[in-house]
Structure formats: structure tokens, C-alpha cells
Amino acid sequence: MVNFSAVAKRYPGGQEALKDVSFSIEAGELVFLTGRSGAGKSTLLKLIPAIERPTSGSVIVNGQNVASLKRGAIPYLRRNIGLVFQDQKLLYDRSVYENVMLPLAFSSHAPREAARRARAALDKVGLAGRENANPIQLSGGEQQRVAIARAVVNRPSILIADEPTANLDADSAARVLDIFVAFRQVGVTVLIATHDLALVERYAGRILHLEQGRVA
Amino acid sequence: MIGWLRQHVRALRLALRRFAAGGTLSALVIGVALALPTGGYALLESLRGLATRASFDPQISIFLKGEVKRAEALALERPLRADRRVAKIRFIPREEALKELNAVQGLAEVTAALGQNPLPDTYVVTARGEDLDPLVADLARMPGVAHVQSDSVWARRLAAIASAGRLALWLLASVLGIGLVSVTFNTIRLQILTHRTEIEVSKLIGATDAFIRRPFYYLGLLQGMAGGAIAIAIVWISLALLNREVAVLAESFGSGYRLTFPGLPDAIIAIALAGLLGWLGAHLSVSKHLRQIE
């Protein structure tokens, strides 16, 4: 599903974020990417949807080498990857429902089908009643769940989350992780970056530990 | 195909909403700016209509010297009739000319004050053909002729003014066209800044460049077209008001002349052209500013 081989990433200015990273994730796996902040977790996650390109090595996602993907092909790659960001990146000028509808707008679904999918996604993250709320009215945990609903509404085969529980209290964090695990159970490959090892231990996931840009 | 259409309808609706929210003022600015060359064009077309009508029936007036006797004056009729370039002649004796002048209200007192008739005997010649210059020169050499005046001179001057005016208009239109492109460029730039987060997020979750650009292109197009429509409206209203005055003036000359409105094809071309320039402004802006958001 996801295959890194000998991946290095050097940022302009010489900072080396990743050095010779190789690993493989099978379809339907749950993987926790751990490590201290600055270990290269975010960089690694950004390579998968081609937000960043590797300096060397290859990143294979769904059989495609992302490292050499043409600019025009990137949107189609991203539609098959659900992305959840640490800062959610919700749009506060529109309702929860419209936020979740956003990815459906550019994959040209019929309006009725799009509405059905958006409701289903909100239902799965337990926000069925909050459709018309503005994200700003929601708690941090609820906002993160809206972000998850937006990430899964296109039914991606891979779900990637960067520190999704970083700003949440223990209860909300557990609830958010439960939702990710539930998606894994229906066959979605889930990759979550976190520095919260205590939380990770409660789930039966594989751990990929990064230390100073290397897989330890 | 349906998906593609749906995407365009969505982009158009988005553009309409954004236009309604903040594009109308820009459209007004564009409209006022475009009204200048559009109105100038309409006036020039009216003027050209006047010029061609005048030269359609080229007339030459031959004014005789005051001391020429009536018999001498009438003697000129034969050589005039013999000239093949002359289609029709009419002799206006000075008494008749004075009578015509007196018929104009208020002038009778003026002419009476002069004591004697200041007007000369006149021949009005209708010429055959277009080139009047040799004929005018020949007529001026006839005995007893004081002055020969060709209407075609006026027609030609009018045409020359019109063509100079047309050139000036093209220059004006070009400058204002560039203005339209810049206004749109800036509107779209502000729109991109306003929607920066949305664009960023959309790109991250799989929106194509085309999807992101589309609403901006539509916005530029709409704004340009609205500006063009406003310009046409301004010109129509102005011409309607002007025509009231022109009608009074023309009737005093016994003419039914009116300024001509730009026709429907002209209006459509103006609106389409403005839309095209708006689209161009949007294109330049989108190409420059969207690349900065990754």
C-alpha cells in the first residue's frame, strides 16, 4: 500500500529531516508513527500525498511512485488519501456540513449522492446532529472529528493523521483514536503520527519509531 | 460530461455569489470607463451618417460678384448646362435669396437695417460623379464668379474629423481596455487572498488547479460583461437625452436627423469584448497568484 525505500529528505538550507528511511505498510494495517517532535514524523507523512517530494529514494503509494508523479496527477492521488491535520484546517466561514462536502465538490458526485455521503461520514464520527453548526462552535475534539469526516467522505483507501490528538484532553483523544481504529476495521489503511506513547499502547497497532530522521 | 457540467455550474454560482458580494462596484468602475469609448463610437457613427448623407448629393454653390448684371448672370446658364459634369442647375436671384432670408424669424429687421440687399445672385449646381475639385476649379474661372463653395468640402472635412476621432477612440479604448484588465487583475488578486485558506485546504485534499481557477475566471468574465452592459446602458441613456436637443436643432434645419444608437450587434460585441478582457485579467491574476499558494 505504502512503500518507502531509501528515502531521504533534505530541506533547502541543509537541514536533513529524513535519512535512508525504508518501510512498508500493507493494506488494512494500523500504524502509529512515533518519535519526539522534530524526529521527522510530519515530513514523512507529507511525502505520501506529495505535499513534499523526497530528495532521494522512492515513495510508492498504491503502486504509483509519488516521487516522480507529475504535478497534474497529484490531486487524483490525494483524493484516495484521507488527510487529517493537527490544526484541522477547517473552513470557519461555512457550516460543518459544507466543510465535509468540500472534497465531494471536486470529484463531481451527483448532489443527492454527495449529501448522502456527507451525512454518513458525519454519522460515523458521531456528529450527525451538528451539521448546521459552525466549526467554531464545536469543541477541539468535535472539530477534529469534523476533519476526520471530511477526510473519509471520499472513501479513501489510506487515512493519514498528523498528531490528531495533540491538543485534546484524554477522553476526546481516545474517542478520536477509536474512530480511526473503526475505519481500519472496514479495511482502510491507517497511519497516525503521535508522540503520545501511552495512548498508542492501548491499541493493537504496529509502531514505527522515528529518531533523528531514521527508523529506529 | 454531466460531472463536468456540474463543476462549471458550481463555479458559475460561486462566481455569481462573489460578484454580488463585492464585484458590483468594480463593474461600475469598468462600466463608467468603457462608456467613454463606447459613447464616442456612437457619436462618431452618427457623425459619419451625417457625412455620407451630405456627400450623397454633392452640391456646389456659385456666388456671383455683386456688380454682375442680371443679363450677364443669366448668360452663365448656357455654358453651365453644356457642362457634362453638371446634372442640375438652379438660379437663385438675389431678391429671392433676400426673401428667403427675411422669412427666417428675426432676420427681416436686420436686413431692413442694411438698407440694400447684401446678397449676390447664386447658382446651385448639382454635380455628377464624385470628384468635384476640377469642376469647382473650372467654375471659379467663369466670368463674374466671386466664390464657389462645394458641400463636398464639408463632407470631406467631416469625414476627416471622423477618422481622426476614430483613431483617438481606438487609442482611448486600448488604454481603458488595459485599465479593465488591471481592475480585474486586482479584484481577482483580492479574491484569492480572501479565499486563501479555502484554496490551500482544497489543494491539500485533492482539488485540481482547474477546479480552483474556474470560479475566478467566471468572476473576471462576469465583472467584465457587467461593466460592458453598464457602459452600453450609460451610452443609451445619454444618447436618448442628447437626442431631445438634437431633434430641436435638426428640425430648425428642416432635417429629421437623430444621433444613432449603437445597435444590438454593437452592444453584444461591446459586452463580449469587455467580458473577454475581464477573463484575460482573471487569467493573468490567477496565473500569478495561485502559484504562490501550495
Nearest CB to A89 within list B204, B206, B207: B204
Give the residue numbers spanning the domain of B176: 2-54+156-292
Q: Which residues make Cβ contacts (< 8 Å) with residue B199, sequence separation at least 6?
A: B192, B212, B290, B293
Q: Over 60: is that where the pLDDT of B106 sits?
A: yes
Its sign, for the CA torsion B243, B244, B249, B252, is positive
Domain-located, residue B137:
no
Give the residue with greater pLDDT, B293 vs B180: B180
Q: Average pLDDT in the B31-40 region?
A: 89
Q: Over 70: is that where the pLDDT of B250 sits?
A: yes
Q: What are phi and psi of A202, to 5 degrees?
A: -80, -10
Residue B97 to residue B111: CA distance in whole angstroms: 12
Instruction: For residue A9, give the 3-state DSSP assignment.
Output: strand
Compute, in degrees rounded to 10, the torsion defined by CA atoms B75, B78, B80, B85.
Answer: 180
Give the residue with greater pLDDT, B128 vs A57: A57
Domain-located, residue B140:
no
Write out the E strands in chain A.
2-10, 16-25, 30-34, 56-61, 64-65, 81-84, 158-162, 189-193, 206-211, 214-215
Residue of B nearest to A74 (CA): B206
Based on the domain organization, do B231 and B169 belong to the same domain? yes
Domain-located, residue B110:
yes
Rg of chain A over all Cα atoms, to the nearest angstrom: 17
Q: Over 80: is that where the pLDDT of B294 sits?
A: no
Nearest CB to B207 within list A89, A106, A110: A106
CA distance A83 to chain B (A): 7
Question: Which grid cell is B252?
Answer: 430648425
CA distance A9 to chain B (A): 18
Give the residue numbers spanning the domain of A112: 90-155
HSE toward the beta carbon, residue B1, CA cutoff 13 A: 0
Based on the domain organization, do B93 and B106 belong to the same domain? yes
For the ranges A68-72, B153-157, B257-261, the lowest mean pLDDT is seen at B153-157
**Type of residue at B33:** A
**Type of residue at A76:** Y
Based on the domain organization, do B6 and B64 belong to the same domain? no
DSSP A93: T
Residue of B nearest to A98 (CA): B198
Domain-located, residue B261:
yes
CA distance B203 to chain A (A): 7
Nearest CB to A102 within list B202, B208, B209: B202
- Chain-wide mean pLDDT for chain B? 85
Q: Over 80: is that where the pLDDT of B270 sits?
A: yes
3-state helix, strand, coil in chain B (%, to 5): 75, 10, 15
Give B2's contacts in chain A (Cβ within 8 Å).
Answer: 108, 110
Helix axes B151-194, B264-289, angle to 10 degrees: 40
| Cβ contact A75–B206 (<8 Å) | yes
Nearest CB to A78 within list B3, B200, B206: B206
Domain-located, residue B174:
yes
Domain-located, residue A121:
yes
CA-to-CA separations, A68 to A86, B82, B191, in angstroms, rounded: 27, 93, 33
- Interface test mutation site (partner B, options A86, A106, A112, max chain B beta carbons within 10 A): A106
CA-to-CA separations, B113 to B95, B101, B102, B103, B109, in angstroms, rounded: 16, 14, 12, 15, 6
CATH number at residue B100: 3.30.70.3040
The closest alpha carbon to B230, from B270, B187, B181, belongs to B270
Domain-located, residue A129:
yes
Number of domains in chain B: 2
Domain-located, residue A131:
yes
Nearest CB to B3 within list A89, A91, A108: A108
Residue A7 to residue B189: CA distance in whole angstroms: 38
**Interval B172-184: pLDDT, tens:** 889 988 988 998 9
Number of domains in chain A: 1
| Cβ contact A106–B197 (<8 Å) | no
Residue B54 pLDDT = 54
Based on the domain organization, do B79 and B214 belong to the same domain? no
Residue of B nearest to A73 (CA): B208
Q: Over 90: is that where the pLDDT of B164 sits?
A: no
Q: Over 80: is that where the pLDDT of B104 sits?
A: no
Based on the domain organization, do B287 and B165 belong to the same domain? yes
Q: Over 80: is that where the pLDDT of B105 sits?
A: no
CA-to-CA separations, B163 to A17, B130, B167, in angstroms, rounded: 69, 19, 6
Question: Which grid cell is A160?
Answer: 493519514
Residue of B nearest to A91 (CA): B198
CA distance A109 to chain B (A): 7
Q: Over 60: is that where the pLDDT of B130 sits?
A: yes
Residues of B with CB under 8 A from a CB of A: 2-4, 6-7, 10, 197-198, 200-209, 211
Q: Which residue has the cell 471659379?
A: B140
Domain-located, residue A170:
no
Question: Which grid cell is A204?
Answer: 493493537
Contact predicate A58/A8, CB 8 Å: no
- Interface test mutation site (partner B, options A108, A113, A154, A162, max chain B beta carbons within 10 A): A108
Residue B28 to residue A135: CA distance in whole angstroms: 36
Check if A207 contacts B (Cβ < 8 Å): no
Encode burial over B83-96: b for 16+ CB neighbours within 10 A, e otherwise.
eeebeebebbebee
Q: Average pLDDT in the A179-191 region?
A: 92
Question: Which grid cell is A215?
Answer: 527508523
DSSP B258: -
Q: Average pLDDT in the A83-111 region?
A: 89
CA-to-CA separations, A16 to A5, A13, A207, B50, B110, in angstroms, rounded: 16, 9, 23, 79, 102
Its sign, for the CA torsion B248, B250, B255, B256, is negative
Q: Average pLDDT in the A186-215 region?
A: 89
Confidence of residue B229 (pLDDT cuts 50, 70, 90): very high
Query: What is the arrangement of strands in the sheet containing A56-61, beginning at the earlier edge strand?
Result: A16-25, A2-10, A56-61, A64-65
Q: Over 70: is that where the pLDDT of A89 sits?
A: yes
Give A72's contacts in chain B (Cβ within 8 Å).
Answer: 208-209
Domain-located, residue B223:
yes
Q: Over 90: is that where the pLDDT of B217 sits?
A: yes
Confidence of residue A127 (pLDDT cuts 50, 70, 90): very high
For the ranges A52-56, A122-126, B129-133, the lowest mean pLDDT is seen at B129-133
Q: Average pLDDT in the A9-33 region?
A: 92
**Interval A138-160: pLDDT, tens:** 998 999 999 999 999 989 999 99
> Could you give the percent of chain B with pLDDT greater than 70?
93
Based on the domain organization, do B218 and B267 belong to the same domain? yes
Give the residue with greater pLDDT, B107 vs B126: B126
Confidence of residue B118 (pLDDT cuts 50, 70, 90): confident
Domain-located, residue B45:
yes
Q: Over 60: is that where the pLDDT of B237 sits?
A: yes
Confidence of residue B152 (pLDDT cuts 50, 70, 90): low
Q: Average pLDDT in the B222-236 region?
A: 94
| Cβ contact B201–A151 (<8 Å) | no
Confidence of residue B20 (pLDDT cuts 50, 70, 90): confident
Instruction: For residue B280, give the 3-state DSSP assignment.
Output: helix
Confidence of residue B98 (pLDDT cuts 50, 70, 90): confident
> Can you tell me the ipTM of this complex?
0.89
Domain-located, residue B274:
yes
Q: Which residue has the cell 490544526?
A: A87
Residue A143 pLDDT = 94
Residue B51 pLDDT = 62
Check if A216 contacts B (Cβ < 8 Å): no
Instruction: Give kind and range of the element (H or E) at residue B216.
Output: helix B209-252
Residue A200 pLDDT = 85
Based on the domain organization, do B66 and B186 belong to the same domain? no
Residue B179 to residue B173: CA distance in whole angstroms: 9
Contact predicate B205/A78, CB 8 Å: yes
The closest alpha carbon to A160, from A130, A184, A136, belongs to A184
| Cβ contact A75–B4 (<8 Å) | no
Instruction: For residue A209, give the 3-state DSSP assignment.
Output: strand
